[in-house]
């Protein structure tokens, strides 16, 4: 990178934190509280990360509100009242803003500023971080809190640019009201975002055409208002509930109960009753109906059959019901949580176009052509997902020691140590990076664990006057092997999910998240007890 691109290096904080979502904000707060000088950089105009960008109709968290919130401050968790079992995007954004105000975090941030690259300098053991504004910042440590699902993916469909109607992506929804009343709308994509948006768009639009390539399993949310008694009880027991969640594989759902039985230990009647009980409670707990649903194909088949039966019961047109039925592993692609999704396909103004066998052919100026038929629409909503886990990291030109580029180091797939650090990229940390539990967990729990581990490490470095830390290549290789070996014990590698990078053409196929929050945390603690095993420290 030429020196001209470095621009004007005017600031020299200890740490640059990229991102002002849940991860970045807590990282900044924690570091500032520990006496570090920190600059936060955020491409959006304000705080919120995912919840700042994803404003599509129906956007809502599918982890329960009382779990999807910070636990680091007792005052914060006691003073905030969530109104629903699953919070809407707007309520979560209000919460994030409250956190930013309460801990006075905005003053550390440069908003409307995209980081375009960063370069490590061996001479002074630090990073120069370049931004799109032309300004750069020099720092000792670089923390990348850029989110796992923050680079939207729009498929390369022939002649898309010729379409003259409105186009939207759920992951970059406009910050103004979008009106669909009286319009013919198409939604492409039936993952979590599509499943949330489709029922609401169907109610508003004149007509809705859903283009579905792969049907997904979705379980009812049974969202509801939270009562005062429920809030009070949870708040009174918060520390025990949080601790119990930390012992769960996905760092959530302790209240639902840990599954103790395999499908094979139940009679047919018990099995159906258990699935029914979990379905009626709603949410991710469905995957905890039995302890082997994600481990054993036959067990999983029972869950799949149960869901397909429920789809058949709800969707009146047998052909449409058949098209909506997934034939893959339940939970292999992330399970969706919905409100009225299957019921939406009973509406007269909704039609389903199954592009499983024949892909969307092309756009015209007025619509979408699939199976030789043109579907004329006024607006298209792409609910087509993200370049997950690596997209936002690789969008920046990050250059480590010996001019090594992160893009080259990860050419065959991401390599990290603990999902926290990368060999050849000293003094750089990733929050919820590939190789960490992140997207397989309640993100808030994972974020808190990462932030606390990283800030403790920086304090340790400062205390002993170390000024350079780097993950060892061998530790990184072993960690990658462990992430994959654990994934291979599960059914996760058995479908074309974004966990594997399979949704992005040409992306290397490797299972990115680490399965199992408690064992991950134990390993992070063991690494510290062993004197930061796997890291090389220098002065």
| Binding region for ligand NAP (CB under 6 A) | 60-62, 149, 155, 170, 188-194, 196, 211, 213-214, 334, 355, 360, 383-386, 439, 498, 503
Measured at the CA of 206, the angle between CA 203 and CA 207, to 5 degrees, comes to 85
Instruction: Name the burial class of residue 401, with classes exposed (0-12), middle (13-18) and buried (19+) by CB atoms within 10 angstroms of its CB.
Output: middle
Of 214 and 536, the one with the shorter C-beta distance to ligand NAP is 214
Smallest distance from ligand NAP to CB 417, Å: 24
| String of DSSP letters for 427-459 | TEEETT-TTSSGGGS-HHHHHHHHHHHHHHHHH
**Residue 244 Cβ, how far from ligand NAP at the closest point, in Å?**
21
Structure tokens at 346: 């009973």
Q: How far is the CB of 515 from ligand NAP (least distance, A)?
A: 15
Nearer to ligand NAP, 55 or 415 (CB): 55
CA-to-CA distance for 154 and 169, rounded, in angstroms? Answer: 8
Nearer Cβ to ligand NAP (439/491): 439
- Output the smallest distance, CB 160 to ligand NAP, in A: 10
Phi-psi domain of 265 (left: phi exceeds 0; alpha: psi -120 through 50; beta: other)? alpha
Provide, rounded to whole angstroms, the least separation between the CB of residue 149 and ligand NAP.
5
Q: In the bound complex, which residue of the shown chain has the CB atom lying closest to ligand NAP?
A: 191
**Least CB distance from residue 291 to ligand NAP, whole Å?**
23
Residue 157 Cβ, how far from ligand NAP at the closest point, in Å? Answer: 6
User: Which CB atom, from 89 or from 113, has the smaller least distance to ligand NAP?
Assistant: 89
Smallest separation (angstroms) from ligand NAP to the CB of 208: 15
* DSSP 8-state code for residue 170: G
3-class DSSP assignment, residue 288? helix
CB nearer to ligand NAP: give 38 or 360: 360
Of 129 and 379, nearer to ligand NAP (C-beta) is 379
Q: How far is CA 61 from CA 50, 149, 235, 331, 458, in A?
A: 10, 14, 20, 17, 32
Residue among 194 and 433 whose Cβ is closer to ligand NAP: 194
Cα 149 to Cα 36: distance, rounded to the nearest angstrom? 28
Closest to ligand NAP by CB, 193 vs 234, is 193
The span from the CA of 194 to the CA of 187, in Å, is 7
CA–CA distances in Å: residue 256 to residues 241, 242, 285, 457: 11, 13, 6, 34
CB of 446 to ligand NAP, least distance (A): 13
- The Cα–Cα gap between 376 and 373 comes to 10
DSSP 496: -
Choose between 131 and 196: whose C-beta lies nearer to ligand NAP.
196
3-state secondary structure of 69: coil
Strand, helix or coil at 458?
helix
Instruction: Provide CB contacts within 8 A for 251, sequence distance 6+.
Output: 245, 437, 441, 442, 445, 446, 517
d(CA 8, CA 183): 49
Contact 371, 396 (CB under 8 A): no
């Amino acid at each position: 990178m030429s020196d001209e691109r470095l621009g004007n290096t005017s600031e020299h904080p200890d740490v640059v934190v990229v991102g002002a979502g849940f991860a970045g904000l807590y990282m900044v707060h924690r570091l500032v509280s520990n006496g570090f000088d920190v600059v936060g950089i955020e491409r959006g105009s304000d705080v919120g990360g995912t919840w700042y960008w994803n404003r599509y109709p129906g956007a809502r968290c599918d982890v329960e509100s009382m779990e999807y919130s910070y636990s680091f401050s007792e005052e914060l968790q006691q003073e905030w009242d969530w109104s629903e079992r699953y919070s809407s995007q707007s309520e979560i954004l209000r919460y994030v803003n409250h956190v930013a105000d309460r801990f006075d975090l905005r003053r550390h941030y440069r908003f409307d500023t995209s980081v375009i690259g960063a370069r490590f300098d061996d001479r002074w053991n630090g990073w120069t971080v370049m931004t799109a504004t032309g300004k750069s910042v020099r720092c000792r440590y670089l923390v990348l809190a850029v989110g796992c699902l923050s680079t939207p993916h729009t498929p390369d469909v022939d002649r898309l640019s010729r379409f003259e109607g409105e186009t939207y992506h759920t992951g970059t929804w406009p910050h103004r009201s979008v009106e669909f009343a009286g319009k013919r709308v198409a939604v492409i994509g039936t993952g979590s975002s599509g499943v949330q948006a489709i029922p609401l768009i169907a109610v508003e639009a004149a007509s809705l055409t859903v283009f579905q390539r792969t049907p997904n399993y979705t379980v009812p949310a049974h969202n509801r208002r939270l009562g005062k008694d429920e809030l009070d009880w949870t708040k009174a027991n918060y520390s025990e509930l949080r601790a119990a969640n930390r012992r769960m594989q996905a760092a959530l759902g302790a209240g639902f109960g840990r599954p103790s039985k395999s499908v094979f230990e139940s009679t047919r009647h018990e099995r159906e009753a258990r699935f029914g009980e979990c379905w009626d409670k709603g949410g991710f707990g469905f995957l905890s109906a039995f302890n082997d649903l994600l481990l054993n194909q036959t067990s999983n088949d029972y869950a799949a059959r149960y869901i397909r039966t429920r789809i058949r019961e709800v969707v009146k047109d047998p052909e449409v019901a058949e098209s909506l039925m997934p034939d893959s592993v339940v939970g292999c692609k992330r399970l969706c949580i919905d409100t009225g999704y299957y019921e939406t396909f009973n509406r007269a103004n909704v039609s389903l176009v199954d592009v499983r066998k024949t892909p969307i052919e092309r756009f015209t100026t007025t619509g979408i052509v699939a199976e030789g038929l043109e579907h004329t629409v006024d607006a298209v909503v792409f609910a087509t997902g993200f370049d997950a886990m690596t997209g936002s990291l690789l969008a920046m030109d990050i250059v480590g020691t010996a001019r090594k580029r992160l893009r080259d180091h990860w050419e065959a797939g991401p390599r990290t140590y603990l999902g926290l650090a990368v060999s050849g990229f000293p003094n750089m940390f990733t929050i919820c990076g590939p190789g960490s539990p992140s997207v397989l967990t309640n993100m808030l729990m994972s974020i808190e664990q990462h932030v606390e581990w990283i800030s403790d490490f920086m304090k340790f470095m400062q205390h002993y006057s170390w000024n350079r830390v780097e993950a060892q290549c061998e530790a990184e290789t072993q960690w990658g092997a462990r992430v994959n070996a654990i994934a291979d014990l599960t059914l996760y590698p058995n479908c074309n999910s974004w966990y594997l990078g399979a949704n992005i053409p040409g992306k290397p196929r490797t299972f990115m998240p680490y399965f199992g929050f408690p064992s991950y945390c134990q390993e992070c603690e063991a690494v510290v007890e062993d004197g930061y095993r796997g890291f090389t420290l220098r002065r």
